[in-house]
Chains A and B, each alone.
Chain A
Amino acid sequence: MRPYRPKDNLQAKAYYNDRFWVAPRIPEEPVEDPVFAADLASLQEHYPIQRAYIQRGQLVIHIDAKENKEVLRYLKEELGYDVLSELSAIDYLAQDGEFEIFYQLLSLEKAKRIRVKCRIKEHEAIESVESIFRSADWSEREMYDMFGIKVNNHPNLKRILMPDDWVGHPLRKTYPLHGDEAAQWYEVDKIFGKEYRDIIGPEQRDAAFVDPNDTCNFARIKHEVPRCADPNSEPIRIEKFNDDAPFVETFDLKKAKIVNRDR
């Protein structure tokens, strides 16, 4: 029997786990940096903040997803975090049924980086921040494309990396790495039509694949048949190498003719 694999998370898993091993955690330091502390205090006066800590030199703020636009507007206009350098999501559907969305902000004057995080449920939508940061236009489209997270009030919310008629959202943990059926036949269906699936054949994704019935491209050890012959035909018996191979002869020094090189 094949071992059961959970379908909600198709990511590769470690094949061995130590029972007693507990993963260490990166320390979440209290906010002591003077710049970050001032910014955080200013932000806390206006908006409720769930958690705030410093991890590897960057301030991380957890907020409520409904307030994302206001918080980012405040961070940009009052505190000077004027570049939205990154925006994306993380799929926690298998564990919590939620997506985590992070906004990576940079202040060019202070040379400091803040990460704002919020969580939404699977079928919820998030408010677009495109009107504050123009760069969110493409990032939110990418987020929609890869995770299927709907973004409200976005000017042009459609797929950006995958083609428009693509099925599924690739970066979800439920999406297999090699693609579902629609993905695997995508180019054949589009160019030749579905009836050509049988002629062109399925994709060959196993690099070590050996087809025992294909004698044109593969040889079976101890069952050598002539090239492109029926795989079940009588194998060639190789007992003495030289008798079967007419072109290879044992080198006999007495028969050999020595060519005069000077000639």
Chain B
Amino acid sequence: MQQRNRLEPYFENLVFERDDNHMVINFGPQHPSAHGQLRLILEMDGEQVAKAWPDIGYLHRGMEKMAENMIYNEFLPTTDRMDYIAATSNNYAFALAVERLLGIEDKVPRRAKVIRMILLELNRIISHLFWLATHALDVGAMSVFLYCFREREYAMDLMEDYCGARLTHSAVRIGGVPLDLPEGWLERLNWFLNILPEQIELYEGLLSENRIWRMRLENVGVIPPEMAKQWACSGIMLRGSGIPYDIRKEEPYELYDEVDFDVPVSETCDSYGRYKLYMEEMRQSIRIIRQLIPMYKETEPQLLAHVPEYISAHKEDIMTQNYSLMQHFVLVTQGMRPPVGEVYVPTESPKGELGFYIRSEGEPYPYRMKIRAPSFWHTGILQDLLPGHYLADVVTIIGSTNIVFGEIDR
């Protein structure tokens, strides 16, 4: 029993067979290995891709327009839904951009910084595990998917213990973090960090020397350094092309200049090199968190910056101090009014360079907010990258770019 509708069969308008023996193939927008809602229109010459037209916008929800109609604190939960695999890195990028706009970046308490960094690196691990799971599933390794999700659930439990949410964390506030780490959390984190390296070795044992895996990834999706620069690639896509640029090292924010970690770089420029980098980055994240645990124990228990003009006071003060209550009321109902000016803040999210450009006119609402999502350009590069590859490699290449449609379309 179907409602009548006026949708015609879709391929009527597309030319299948052309004079030059090229065939047009539609891929998506609802394809199980398109990592969301990517639609690719592929012009095939036999089995090889001659031209590729990525079509995006199937998840465009108008976040930038929403941001213009929301006060700054109100927008923070919306950033969760951008890169929903590692939500805290978005929250953090937004919070850091607003803090730099307000000029209170230095006033964030040290404990809040350490907690943020632990959460960021934990999110990086979650994101990379998820990437490996789905990428392996796309290439054809089902069991790696199940193994990766098992470890990912442990990390999700840690996030859930901290902020109460599995996926959309909102675990960072402008000016600090809302909560201290719960009791026994660090022990559980330690346990997780201890089991993870063994598991990473397990994945590598399953994949690294696997003949199928190597044949499908090696020399597939080669991005020369010049092309990576042209397409504004960032993160692992840039480091996979042999350019050692990590925003955590080059333009350090938070406490990244105090911790010791390496930036792995791959010279092979192909999907296999990028896979190696993902594995190595997880190990580096474990190393960073291990250094942060003793740093956490040395800090004072203050969690939010003391800037009464912009940031609400601690909950206990709001309940007992008259002035704090008034300030909190004004900040919640009217919102903070940042100074006039603009700021662009890049951060290193698991996908690449996640930047927020905020233009403020002194109003409680941002005049313009542009979200620089790394995946946007990593999808654009498919136009130049796919031609010449076989159809079977398309899935591998899409997988190795690690794109998430929440942040491409915003």
Q: Which residues of A are interface residues toward B (Cβ below 8 A)?
A: 11-16, 21, 23-26, 28, 55-56, 58, 82-86, 88, 90-91, 102, 104, 106, 108, 111, 113, 115, 133-135, 137-138, 146, 159-163, 170-171, 175, 177, 191-193
Could you say which of A26, A113, A134, A160 contacts B101, with CB atoms under 8 Å apart?
A: A26
Known interface pairs A133-B232, A191-B7; A170-B62 also in contact (CB < 8 Å): yes
Known interface pairs A161-B409, A171-B64; A58-B380 also in contact (CB < 8 Å): no
Q: Which residues of B are interface residues toward A (Cβ below 8 A)?
A: 3-7, 56-57, 60, 62, 64-66, 68-70, 100-101, 103, 227, 229-232, 234, 243, 245, 250-251, 334-335, 337, 339-344, 346, 353, 355, 357, 359, 361-365, 367-368, 370, 372, 376-377, 380, 383-384, 409
Chain A residue nearest in CB terms to B3: A192
- 18 A/B residue pairs, CB under 8 Å, sorted by A: A12-B70, A12-B365, A14-B364, A14-B365, A24-B340, A26-B103, A83-B232, A85-B234, A86-B357, A104-B355, A108-B243, A111-B251, A113-B344, A133-B230, A133-B232, A134-B230, A191-B5, A193-B5
Q: Are A86 and B341 in contact, with the CB atoms below 8 A?
A: no
Given the complex, which residues of B lie within 8 Å of A134, measured CB to CB?
227, 230-231, 384
Q: Are B56 and A90 in contact, with the CB atoms below 8 A?
A: no
Q: Are B232 and A85 in contact, with the CB atoms below 8 A?
A: yes
A226 to chain B, nearest CB (A): 29
Given the complex, which residues of A lie within 8 Å of B344, measured CB to CB?
58, 86, 104, 113, 115
Q: Are A161 and B56 in contact, with the CB atoms below 8 A?
A: yes
Chain B residue nearest in CB terms to A173: B68
Chain A residue nearest in CB terms to B357: A86
Provide the bound-state CA to CA distance between A209 and B101, in Å: 37
Known interface pairs A13-B363, A56-B100, A192-B5; A137-B380 also in contact (CB < 8 Å): yes
Given the complex, which residues of B lie within 8 Å of A113, measured CB to CB?
344, 346
Provide the bound-state CA to CA distance between A151 and B51, in Å: 23
Q: Are A192 and B6 in contact, with the CB atoms below 8 A?
A: yes
B8 to chain A, nearest CB (A): 11
Known interface pairs A25-B341, A83-B229, A90-B368; A12-B245 also in contact (CB < 8 Å): no
Most-contacted residue by chain A among B70, B100, B380, B383 (CB, 10 A) = B380
Q: Are A26 and B6 in contact, with the CB atoms below 8 A?
A: no
Q: Are B355 and A85 in contact, with the CB atoms below 8 A?
A: yes
Q: Are B343 and A26 in contact, with the CB atoms below 8 A?
A: yes
Q: Are A85 and B372 in contact, with the CB atoms below 8 A?
A: yes
Provide the bound-state CA to CA distance between A198 and B358, in Å: 41
Q: Are A160 and B370 in contact, with the CB atoms below 8 A?
A: no
Given the complex, which residues of A lie within 8 Å of B65, measured CB to CB?
170-171, 175, 177
Q: Are B232 and A84 in contact, with the CB atoms below 8 A?
A: yes
A80 to chain B, nearest CB (A): 11
Known interface pairs A12-B68, A25-B339; A85-B346 also in contact (CB < 8 Å): yes
Chain B residue nearest in CB terms to A11: B68
Known interface pairs A26-B339, A88-B357, A135-B231; A160-B56 also in contact (CB < 8 Å): yes
A3 to chain B, nearest CB (A): 18
Could you say which of B340, B341, B377 contacts A138, with CB atoms under 8 Å apart?
A: B377
Could you say which of A11, A135, A159 contacts B230, with CB atoms under 8 Å apart?
A: A135
Could you say which of B62, B101, B380, B409 contacts A135, with CB atoms under 8 Å apart?
A: B380
Provide the bound-state CA to CA distance between A244 and B134, in Å: 58
Known interface pairs A133-B232, A138-B380; A56-B357 also in contact (CB < 8 Å): no
Q: Are B251 and A26 in contact, with the CB atoms below 8 A?
A: no
Q: Are A23 and B68 in contact, with the CB atoms below 8 A?
A: no
Q: Are B367 and A90 in contact, with the CB atoms below 8 A?
A: yes
Could you say which of B4, B5, B103, B368 contacts A91, with CB atoms under 8 Å apart?
A: B368
A104 to chain B, nearest CB (A): 6
B212 to chain A, nearest CB (A): 33
Given the complex, which residues of B lie within 8 Å of A102, measured CB to CB?
357
Chain B residue nearest in CB terms to A90: B368
Q: Are A25 and B243 in contact, with the CB atoms below 8 A?
A: no
A147 to chain B, nearest CB (A): 11
Given the complex, which residues of A lie within 8 Å of B7, measured CB to CB?
191
Provide the bound-state CA to CA distance between A25 and B57, in Å: 36
Known interface pairs A14-B364, A58-B344, A85-B346; A104-B231 also in contact (CB < 8 Å): no
Could you say which of B60, B339, B363, B383 contacts A14, with CB atoms under 8 Å apart?
A: B363
A15 to chain B, nearest CB (A): 8
Provide the bound-state CA to CA distance between A56 and B95, in Å: 16
Given the complex, which residues of A lie within 8 Å of B372, measured CB to CB?
85-86, 104
Given the complex, which residues of B lie within 8 Å of A177, measured CB to CB?
62, 65-66, 69
Chain B residue nearest in CB terms to A56: B343
Q: Are B60 and A161 in contact, with the CB atoms below 8 A?
A: yes
Chain A residue nearest in CB terms to B247: A111
Provide the bound-state CA to CA distance between A159 and B355, in Å: 23
Provide the bound-state CA to CA distance between A26 and B340, in Å: 6
7 more contacts with CB within 8 A, not counting A24-B339, A104-B344, are A86-B355, A86-B372, A88-B357, A111-B251, A113-B344, A113-B346, A138-B380
Provide the bound-state CA to CA distance between A174 and B313, in Å: 37
B363 to chain A, nearest CB (A): 6
Chain A residue nearest in CB terms to B410: A161
Chain A residue nearest in CB terms to B379: A138
Provide the bound-state CA to CA distance between A113 and B359, in Å: 17
Known interface pairs A16-B334, A56-B343; A85-B353 also in contact (CB < 8 Å): yes
Provide the bound-state CA to CA distance between A25 and B337, in Å: 11
Q: Are B6 and A191 in contact, with the CB atoms below 8 A?
A: yes
Q: Are B229 and A162 in contact, with the CB atoms below 8 A?
A: no
Q: Are B69 and A11 in contact, with the CB atoms below 8 A?
A: yes
Which 9 pairs of residues, A with B, have the shortest CB-CB distance?
A23-B362, A26-B341, A161-B57, A135-B232, A134-B230, A111-B250, A12-B69, A24-B339, A138-B380
Chain B residue nearest in CB terms to A91: B368
Chain B residue nearest in CB terms to A28: B341
A137 to chain B, nearest CB (A): 6
Q: Are A135 and B6 in contact, with the CB atoms below 8 A?
A: no
Q: Are A108 and B245 in contact, with the CB atoms below 8 A?
A: yes
Given the complex, which residues of B lie within 8 Å of A24, measured CB to CB?
339-340, 362
B368 to chain A, nearest CB (A): 5
